[in-house]
Amino acid sequence: LSFNSARFLISASRLDECPTDAGAEVAFAGRSNAGKSSALNTITANGKLARTSKTPGRTRLINFFSLNRDNCRLVDLPGYGYARVSRDMKDDWQQHLGQYLIERRCLRGLVLVMDIRHPLTDFDQMMVEWCEHNDLPLMILATKADKLKYGKAKTSMLGIAKALKDHRCVQHLIMFSATSGRGVEECRQALTDWLEA
């Protein structure tokens, strides 16, 4: 798989606007500001890729990117936890996302992007439990590792691993940095394994 051939495909606000449910997809989730867009940009070596997902009006949409192989896609899920969204919008978010996660048959796994300095927020926990409950393979990117000294980053990784040791859904836990490129190859390899399986 060639990740740097990723191209924006379509945005969807509802399940029936998503591309045909065929082939293979991996979806990226994360709390707003965790570093999800930067991670996607680095993985695809395209500094502008996930900008689409950040343009006003698109932040609450599910954005699809196609890869070079037929019917392989990366999916950028709406970031969770915008400070100012109303309760209604949060309900809306949960409903659409929940529906995507539950009903999407071509979904091979979820990548959960978390800030290595503040891992396992309530949102992260919720997503982990959801994957565990629904047998969806999970990859955790503990990103912004460049912001910590290696020892501290390692300690954070061990803390995450320990907290999730009974969760069989966690297939990959990767120390990551969009800035330094740490973990990018490991992540691409894991994505390839999922998408080509």
Tokens for 18, please give them.
Answer: 């998503």
- When binding is defined by CB under 6 A, the residue of 143, 156, 174, 191 that contacts ligand GDP is 143
Least distance to ligand GDP, CB of residue 126, Å: 16
Tokens for 89, please give them.
Answer: 């919008």
Angle, helix 184-196 to helix 36-43, in steps of 10 degrees = 80
- When binding is defined by CB under 6 A, the residue of 6, 27, 34, 190 that contacts ligand GDP is 34
- Pick the closer one to ligand GDP by CB: 26 or 106: 26
Number of other residues whose CB lies within 10 A of the CB of residue 151: 8
d(CA 100, CA 130): 13
- For CA atoms 181, 182, 185, 190, the dihedral sign is negative
- When binding is defined by CB under 6 A, the residue of 6, 25, 27, 38 that contacts ligand GDP is 38
Least distance to ligand GDP, CB of residue 5, Å: 21
Stretch that binds ligand GDP, among 85-93, 140-148, 163-171, 189-197 (CB under 6 A): 140-148
Query: Using alpha carbons only, what angle is made at residue 27 by residues 67 and 39, rounded to the nearest 5 degrees?
Result: 75
- When binding is defined by CB under 6 A, the residue of 6, 36, 65, 195 that contacts ligand GDP is 36
Closest by Cα among 191, 184, 179, 173 to 67: 191
- When binding is defined by CB under 6 A, the residue of 9, 10, 13, 32 that contacts ligand GDP is 32
Stretch that binds ligand GDP, among 83-91, 100-108, 124-132, 176-184 (CB under 6 A): 176-184
- When binding is defined by CB under 6 A, the residue of 58, 179, 186, 192 that contacts ligand GDP is 179
Q: Does 11 bind ligand GDP (CB under 6 A)?
A: no
Q: Does 2 bind ligand GDP (CB under 6 A)?
A: no
Strands (E), 56-190: 62-66, 72-76, 107-115, 138-143, 170-175
Least distance to ligand GDP, CB of residue 54, Å: 7
